Structure 1
Amino acid sequence: MLHILSERLRQGHRTGKFPQQEPTLSERFRGLPQITPNLDQQQQSAAVASCPFAAVQSVAGQLQIDVGRCLFCADCPVAELGALEFSHDYRLATRSRDDLLLGDETYRLAEKLNKRMLKLFGRSLKLRQLSAGGCNACEADLNVLGTLVFDLGRFGIQFVASPRHADGIMVTGPVTENMRSALLDTYAAIPEPKLVIASGACAIGGGPFRDSPETNNGIGDLLPVDLYIPGCPPHPYTALDGLLRLLNRR
């Protein structure tokens, strides 16, 4: 017992100081995309054609990135053309699907819930996580939030085993056909009022499986979404930042 206690003292306090202190991220981390200004039409057309997931479009003569579709590829062909670069900004979550469409305007981060919902969930939020055909990358990074580094529970947020004990549902995966009814049944089992969170490119817009006959292109046309957390997968700090903004803790 003395050995265990001395080892704990040696290891010290491991929980991060977020959100009071900004996290230190790897140099390889790919955060919010930044569009290269003053691209001509030929450069924009080349950028649009090079993205394999149709995350880049040319709108009214301006390059636009759908952050919800973007997979933040390590070998991004659009970045290789010089049309964009990835910043180290991990703050990506939004309340609206349209806010994920990034042009030359300021990226609009997630806003807090309304007064009634904040009163209900601001200090205690229980979520049922549902994997609707995901590859387990998003699920793994959400699981990390329960470790002592992030300690999601210190903010009053917990993942629960039953939808009947939950205040909302956090969905990952593109919603495969065999998970569609499970998703809807889980949502129906959560008592009102309830929240819906789409975590990851697949849940937001189908990800690399978009337009497959076996998937539903995410949950947007199935459930009313309250928070979008983009990424493939979203970094744990991206998910935590979005949740805290939703609860007016950022």
Structure 2
Amino acid sequence: MNLTDRVAVITGGAGGIGAALARRFAAEGATALVLADLDGAAAEAVAAAVGPLARGVAVDVTDEEQVRALVADTERRHGRIDVFCANAGVSTGGGVEVDDTGWERSWRVNVLAHVYAARAVLPAMLARGSGYLLHTCSAAGVLTAVGDAAYTTTKHAAVGFAEWLSVTYRDQGIRVSALCPQGVDTPMLADGLAAGHLGARIIAASGAVLSPDDVAAAAVAGMAEERFLILPHPEVADYARRRAEDPDGWQSGLRKLVRRLRATA
């Protein structure tokens, strides 16, 4: 997809990857950008920095009625939505001990928000015979987020849902991409490091932490080629192959890494 003159909605648009996508889409010639975030004031600040084509709004993506209202308002203002980026995400940094509230929040933000977006935007996209869904799913969705059970589980579900959408609707003009970065310099990573989360420590120790702008550039390149799986960290493809070919060996390697990091904690 060429982003020139496109109308795009980006959730989680107040910072990190979402804000970087907004900046990059604007540079690519988008005609209108709607940045939705639970923190509406922060989304408005990012929109102001991007320029007059952008608008920030407060939206809770776990509330389907708010997502529907976001879509309806954008379509009313701009006539259509060409690209919907379901980008909002949360992590827990914990395992099975995380309480039901944490698991439920992960499920609603990382998975159901994607479902709500698809329900809202697909009817008009299908009627036009064109549209693009970009889902930020994380490399955790094709590998494992060591130290975060809920994140791993929900991101695998997010990739599965995106794949289902692609298989089901591509022949009707709908393009779907699962954006799966690994380590990214975002508040989520910083908060995880501050809390001592194992997964964040592994990412930081890898030395392969990208900037959000790097991820946005990879996303735009992948969308231009209409690739389903967009991997800003190309090594993730190799990891995924090794995991598929030798799951026991892959898990053994991860356990060794965990033991080493725990020993140095």
Scaled by the length of structure 2, the TM-score of the pair is: 0.30
* Length-normalised TM-score, structure 1: 0.31
Q: Which has the larger radius of gyration?
A: 1
Going by fraction, where is helix more abundant, 1 or 2?
A: 2
